[in-house]
Chains A and B, each alone.
Chain A
Amino acid sequence: MDAHAYDALVIGAGISGMQAALDLAEKGYQVLVVERQASIGGTMAKLDKTFPTNDCAICITAPKMVELARHPNITLLTSAQVERVAGSVGHFEVTIWRQTTYVDPEKCTGCGDCARACPVEVADTFNGRLSRRKAIYLQFPQAVPAVYTIDYAQCTGCGACDRACGPGAISFLRRSQPLTVTVGSIVVATGFEVLEPTELRREYGYGRFANVLTALQYERLMAASGPTDGHVTRPSDGQAPRSIAWIQCVGSRSTQGGHPYCSKICCMYATKEALITREHAPDTATTIFYMDLRAYGKDFQQYYRRAADHGVRYVRSRPASVSENADQSLMLEYEDTLTGKVASETFDLLVLSTAVVPPPENRRLAQALGIAVDEHGFFVARDALRAPLHATREGIFLAGGAQGPNDIPDCVAQASGAAGLAAIPLSQRQRTAEPVPPAERDVAAEAPRTGVFVCSCGKNIGGFVDVEAVTASARALPEVAFAEACTFACSEDAQRKIRGAIEANGLNRVVVAACSPITHGPVFQQTCAEVGLNAGLFEMANIRNQCSWVHSSEPGPATTKAADLVRMAVARASYVKSLPVQTIEVTPGCLVIGGGAAGMTAAITLAEMGIEVVLVERETVLGGKLNLLGKLAPNDLPASTFREHLVHEVQRRPQIKVFTGTEVGEVSGHVGNFQVTLDGGLGEAITQVQVGTIIVATGFREVDLRGRYGYGDDPRIITQLELERHLRDGTLGKPRSVVMINCAGSLDAANPSCCRIGCSVAVKNARLVHQAAPGTQVFLLYQDLRVYGKGQEEAFTQMLAEVAPQRIRYDAERPPQVSLEHGRIMVTVYDTLLRDELEVEADLVVLTAALRGDGETPRLKQMLKVGANAQDFYHEAHAKIRPLDFTTEGIYLCGGDHYPRSIPDTLAQAAGAASRAAIPLLRGRVKVEPIVAEVEAARCSGCGLCVPHCPYGAMRLDPERGVLVIEEVLCKGCGTCVAACPSGALQQRGFADAQVLAMIETAWEGALV
């Protein structure tokens, strides 16, 4: 292949870009990733925790970063940007500008000697300028690539770094260069920035008052690796603040401010920041000033309630002004709109939840790519409803923050979706086959002959640890046949020497004492593999991160410890075995359960990738909810038109086999090979199909409100779904007054969740009712108006202008009452803003009913061995970074069965699920984790203590033989089951008891501290 020919280009390597790149690369396509910054990771790498699970952000980002950097099908260019794109889909010619960083990434070991030598200190932008760094720097400790960068704008050219650099990685002669490549398709994932409100809202004092921060700066203050090691302190005096206020919608939802849209993520991150602040320092008073509290996502409302229960105070207000007190605390003037009280209150620290804005870079990039941006600078979709991920130029796709505010799971879903769509133009291309591993030496029968290589990492280890002494002590160990010191073990030169030593000395185990196995293990494993040693026969002693770097002032004990760590590694090496890499063949084809918008889109996307699909729909017609709806936001397209379009697209593709009026009967097997029974109903045929993967797209339903709000007592009291039917069929009539009650059956004790889409549906339907019956007075009863998605805030504003509804905000504690009096429908409600009870006569009451997952979920989840919550919504594998996967490998989900969502979001998820489900199918084989659990049947007594410990359903008891059976393809290699086994019959390859104990037992063997 031409060195400059790639299959796909991904621009931006935050969470969206990384996901898109990995999804494409996993399918076997060659991906070029271009990132403007020196490290990949994007905004997510800067966050402390993520809502609503409080997952540590870097902990879940870093493994993806490492995976991306190591992926054989991914080429990563950092400090680079796209200059020009010529050609067309399938044959784009892309010019990329590679900014020099003056550091050779091949030679840099990430040791940091250069930064210590550098005399220039500048504000650290990664930390929101709350700390300082050097002009040569690593963006953050987990940066990928772990290569230092010179900030040329700040560099004085003194050369101190060059002199300090052991491996000689720095050269000021390195030039920035253009690079031209060809690609077939492009994913744009340039992310977002947050508004720094200096010019915009001077009244909040940002930039003027020391103790006013943006929420992103506050994230850095909270982060353990941030400027204050995770201790929240005031910038002015370093003291812990006793009170902190957050102001929401700073710059957002404001036409004057230039950002009329809702930034979507701020209510939740402010809630998270306040909640975690109180968890760390329970005496800190935290107050959030909000307009509407938009806790619209899965488990968001519960998270918000939890924060409120933990003492986070919520004040419904947009503060008028901020002034600074003498002690640099901040005085806020505000009116609480729920009590009507005007107050002024002092806070030690003020955090501004500022608008999510597009990177200024977008406009230039849009020109280079020949695609459109909106008036704000976000990239726009070709069709906001039907093609939310297609940019306006064929072959270019959008994901994540690049096209508007999005939370992480939506970014990931869109990224997978964009990757799925970007794979379509590539479907005729040759995909990269799995690399054939080099032939391996069989060493099972040999006694251990271990080679030890002790790295001094320039001065990083050698400066504090006596490397020669460590090498000598290793040489004295009986199993060690060869020991040698080296300067930079990871250098190409040293690797060659290691390979030579293995061959010359017949070594069958290799221990490298250097840095961390997490970052460098695979490098050395590759080296060993090249001379026939299996990866399992390699072991690493981390004498840099765990020794020289953390015991710099104690060279004696550091050397002793290094010798101990080497002895432990050698002891372990004596017990290690080859780890066979196993793969299993994948049955081609994907089963899609559910023929609504999500299922049909997933099926079409898969078919376009060239994959056979079995699409199963329980009803007799395809379409799902589209059969029930009137017109769709944002452009009032009739749902029937959209349905017909999708059905046509499904039916014209021979790869899609449709089974309507059919239910899934039984499912057995595992990823790569599922056997599924399709039941056509009474008297109909039962069909057996075999597929490699499964997508679940079974949608949602309204809860049954009978007995509440008078529902069921009068045909004039209906739900939104029933209203949609009236609007579709033109049977609305001419009601004089329509009362819409939002959150009917939601946000209460029985069902605390927010249905996510109810407010948007109400906003859309209020307008459609107004159009169908002009002159109708619409009353909109709501708790918080949670319109959140792209264009929805604007649609809301437009509706207010057109319909002029009477808006009444009620409280969950005093829900509206609907009563029938002599044939009249009366709605009484306490308006929390007017602080008065109102009575309204309604000709039509429309209930925005709570939503729950499909009624079949309890049955399906058992069959598929997946989980679901009390509302019958399925549990995704990870709320943030795996929104489309189940924990059971090979099964994916999309659409309303995950949680209710808008149609564009549903389509994005559907394309994403198709992308995920296509990976094993396009690869043709699935890899089995090499470090799986294994059972010695003769020792297993079949007690079953281990079985419930497996989160992946990989183990079961064989009732015939009374022993455990492991489905290796499902095992992820955590070893939790192994620790539950009392007899030792269960072991983990690579982490067997004997291997771990060898280290434990030699750790302090005769050692002195």
Chain B
Amino acid sequence: MTTALETQLRSRAHDLLAEGVVELFLGYRQGSNPLRVAPFVARTPLETAKLVWNAVCVPNLAGTLAKHAGQRIGVALKACDAQSVRELLKLNQLERSRLYLIGIGCAGMADPAAITDAAPGRVTGLAEAGPDLVLTTADDVVRRERGTLLLTKCATCTGMPTDFCDEWLGEAPPAPPAVPAERFAAVQALATLAPPERLAFWSEHLSRCTLCYACQTVCPLCFCKECALTLERDHPRRQAREPMTIFAYHLMRAYHLADRCTGCDECSRVCPEDIPLNLICRKLEQDRSQV
């Protein structure tokens, strides 16, 4: 089932490629199951038929975009992706003149965990019905208000940068709302702890870290050609997963992102150990807003 937005997107991508405005168009294609999508680069007008737009288009396209820097490329952007693209432009990792940015009136993406809670079992279908999402499993069809299934970052979305995209699809962007207080609720709670408790909190979580560096690999703002923090993969302390070594890695990753992190939470999404790295994103966002 194709939504109106998806149809519009395919059509615009088709035309942009056909007219030669862009050489590539970046969006998503359906993944191995209804709850999965993957970044997808359409190279011909024909390929745009594979583009999808649904409630689980979570991956941040900014990182993929940066890998194609140098080519003329169109891209469909959610608000959070757009924030990252804007940051990459500031840091000379992209050239605005080579980009064609289509802003999508994003209604927020669904949290896989919330979907599993709402519809236990393998989800075989995901559809939109007005303000609701309809989830199909082997033995049930569950209809939920979209707002109840959103990722936290989406529920407290800070909006699209103004005057940024070349065109819009879907509902025109609402004026960026005041940042909802609940966006920082978890960080605030952490801040009320005494330092030793905070250290214990992180020691506990980071003790699971295997130094797989997925958080670094996925981050759209980690643009260094080689990461200075992951260079010494073979160091015995890293091999041994020394707690202080892991701690220092995450501390420095946070520091490097301090002025850049746009809060897309990709790091925590991909963390195989479910370390709440998004808390770091919120913290950085909070510190910046206080400057």
Interface of A toward B, CB cutoff 8 Å: 938-945, 957, 962, 982-985, 993
Contacts and interface: CB of A to CB of B under 8 A. Distances in A.
A983 B91 contact: no
Interface string B202-231: 000000000000000000000111111001
A179 B224 CA distance: 65
Interface in B82-124: 91-93
Contacts of A938: 225
Interface string B25-43: 0000000000000000000
A943 B228 contact: no
B228 A983 contact: yes
A945 B90 CA distance: 10
Contacts of A957: 92
Of the listed residues B93, B223, B225, the one surrounded by the most CB atoms of chain A closer than 10 A to its CB is B225
A983 B92 contact: no
A993 B91 CA distance: 23
B225 A983 contact: yes
Given A957-B92, A983-B224, A993-B228, 10 more contacts: A938-B225, A942-B93, A943-B92, A943-B93, A944-B92, A982-B256, A983-B226, A983-B227, A984-B226, A984-B228
B225 A982 contact: no
A944 B91 CA distance: 7
A606 to B, nearest CB: 42
A942 B90 CA distance: 11
A962 B92 contact: yes
6 contacts: A941-B93, A941-B223, A942-B92, A943-B92, A962-B92, A983-B225
Interface in B221-244: 223-228, 231
A940 B93 CA distance: 11
Contacts of B91: 943-945
Interface of B: 91-93, 223-228, 231, 256
A993 B228 CA distance: 10
The 10 closest A-B pairs by CB, nearest first: A983-B224, A984-B228, A943-B91, A982-B256, A942-B92, A939-B225, A941-B223, A983-B228, A941-B225, A944-B92
Of the listed residues A944, A962, A983, the one surrounded by the most CB atoms of chain B closer than 10 A to its CB is A983
Contacts of A984: 226, 228, 231
A232 B231 CA distance: 53
Nearest to B231: A984
A939 B256 CA distance: 16
A957 B226 CA distance: 19
B86 to A, nearest CB: 14
B84 to A, nearest CB: 14
Contact of A982 (B92, B93, B224, B231): B224
Contacts of A940: 225
- Per DSSP, are chain A's interface residues mostly helix, strand or loop, or mixed? loop
Given A982-B256, A984-B231, A943 B223 contact: yes
Contacts of A943: 91-93, 223
A242 to B, nearest CB: 39
Contacts of A985: 224-225
A984 B232 CA distance: 13
B220 to A, nearest CB: 13
Nearest to B256: A982
B256 to A, nearest CB: 5
Nearest to A938: B225
A939 B224 contact: yes
Contacts of A945: 91
A983 B222 CA distance: 10
A222 to B, nearest CB: 36
A983 B92 CA distance: 15
Contacts of B226: 939, 983-984
Nearest to B88: A943
Of the listed residues A940, A944, A982, the one surrounded by the most CB atoms of chain B closer than 10 A to its CB is A982
A957 B91 CA distance: 11
A940 B223 CA distance: 10
Nearest to A962: B92
A945 B225 CA distance: 15
A963 to B, nearest CB: 10
Contacts of B256: 982
A942 B69 CA distance: 13
Nearest to B227: A983
Contacts of B231: 984
A940 B226 CA distance: 9
Contacts of B223: 941, 943
Contacts of B93: 941-943
Contact of B228 (A942, A944, A962, A982): A982
A733 B103 CA distance: 77
Contacts of B224: 939, 941, 982-983, 985
A941 B256 CA distance: 14
A993 B227 CA distance: 14
Contacts of B225: 938-941, 983, 985
Nearest to A957: B92
A288 to B, nearest CB: 39
Nearest to B257: A982
Of the listed residues A938, A941, A944, the one surrounded by the most CB atoms of chain B closer than 10 A to its CB is A941
Nearest to A982: B256
A403 to B, nearest CB: 52
A549 B226 CA distance: 45
